[in-house]
């Protein structure tokens, strides 16, 4: 496709240059003030024709523009496999399937000693030699949407608080509080109430970021099923090698996990963003 586009540009520029040269030659010599600009244009077209050999990538996006939108790829889109553990794309007679291997990361380089960093680098070099097939390793940092989790904790906290207050009121009416006797079950509810308060405080205080690492590997086949099976075989082999190298439980990503890896929109916490906009708007007003 790139070669055809490059050849098309070359032919267009050369033909345009030849046309301008012929027009310039047909103009009488006394009209040199017309011949000179046309000659400059012909030279510029020849330069552009030569540049198509090395700078085609500068022209190609312009041909894909639709008003303000640039179409990056007009080929067949990737689709999720029916099994939910791979993405598939068809290109002519071939089918390409890609699987993603989750790599749990429990510590960062900032938390390691010098020897631990060296050991990690050695393990990483070993991981690169697990397979002869090419695979891609990616690590991405994204913001977590804590709103739904916080709402669940707050709802549970309010529920326990209501139960605790109800118990105290009932026991107070029975006159047991005046005698200094702890209501039955109040200690358990008080402990549960403290637990949910501490959890809510810790979640609100924690940074809402998450680090996700994964490896992607692909395979081709004549049919969708063949490509997916080959990709899964490679993915299982890669996951086993990573698990053995790092002593972790690497596994194949599925469904929503894949979307989190390949769709940036899945990593945007809409509720947090909306709340932040509202707070800034309120502060400015």
User: Which two three-digit tokens encode residue 76?
Assistant: 């067949």
User: How many angstroms separate the CA atoms of 100 and 239, rounded?
Assistant: 9
From residue 108, how far is each of 65, 103, 160, 216, 267 by CA, in Å? 42, 13, 37, 21, 21
Q: Which burial class, exposed, middle or buried, applies to 170 when counting CB atoms under 10 A from its CB (0-12, 13-18, 19+)?
A: exposed
Q: Which residues pair with 65 in a beta bridge?
A: 70
pLDDT digits (tens, 9 = 90+) for 44-77: 888 888 777 666 666 666 666 555 665 556 666 7
Q: Per-domain residue ranges for the chain?
A: 2-70, 79-145+208-284, 149-200
Residue 268 pLDDT: 58
List per-residue pLDDT tens for the chain, 285 residues long: 455 667 777 888 888 888 888 888 888 877 778 888 888 888 888 888 877 766 666 666 666 655 566 555 666 678 888 888 899 988 878 899 999 998 887 666 666 678 877 887 787 777 777 888 888 888 877 666 677 777 888 888 888 888 888 887 777 776 654 555 555 567 777 888 888 888 888 777 766 666 778 889 999 998 889 999 999 999 999 999 888 888 888 889 888 888 877 766 665 555 454 555 555 555 544
Q: Helices 2-26 and 56-63 meet at what angle, rounded to 10?
A: 90
């Amino acid at each position: 496709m790139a070669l055809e586009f490059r050849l098309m540009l070359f032919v267009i520029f050369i033909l345009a240059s030849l046309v301008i040269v012929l027009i310039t030659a047909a103009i009488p010599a006394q009209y040199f003030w017309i011949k000179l600009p046309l000659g400059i244009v012909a030279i510029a077209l020849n330069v552009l024709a030569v540049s198509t050999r090395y700078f085609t990538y500068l022209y190609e996006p312009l041909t894909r523009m639709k008003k303000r939108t640039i179409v990056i790829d007009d080929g067949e889109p990737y689709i999720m496999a029916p099994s939910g553990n791979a993405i598939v794309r068809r290109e002519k007679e071939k089918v390409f399937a890609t699987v993603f291997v989750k790599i749990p990361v429990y510590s960062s380089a900032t938390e390691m000693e010098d020897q631990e960093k060296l050991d990690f680098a050695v393990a990483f070099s070993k991981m690169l030699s697990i397979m002869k097939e090419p695979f891609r390793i990616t690590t991405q940092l994204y913001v977590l949407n804590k709103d739904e989790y916080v709402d669940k904790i707050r709802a549970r906290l309010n529920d326990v608080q209501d139960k605790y207050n109800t118990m105290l009121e009932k026991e107070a009416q029975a006159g047991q509080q005046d005698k200094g006797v702890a209501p039955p079950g109040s200690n358990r509810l008080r402990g549960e109430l403290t637990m949910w308060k501490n959890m809510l405080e810790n979640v609100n205080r924690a940074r809402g970021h998450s680090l996700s690492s994964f490896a992607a590997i692909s395979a081709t086949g004549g049919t969708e099923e063949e490509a997916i099976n080959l990709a899964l075989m490679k993915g299982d082999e890669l996951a086993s090698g990573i698990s053995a190298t790092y002593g972790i439980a690497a596994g194949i990503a599925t469904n929503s996990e894949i979307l989190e890896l390949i769709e940036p929109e899945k990593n945007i916490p809409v509720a947090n963003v909306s709340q932040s906009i509202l707070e800034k708007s309120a502060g400015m007003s």
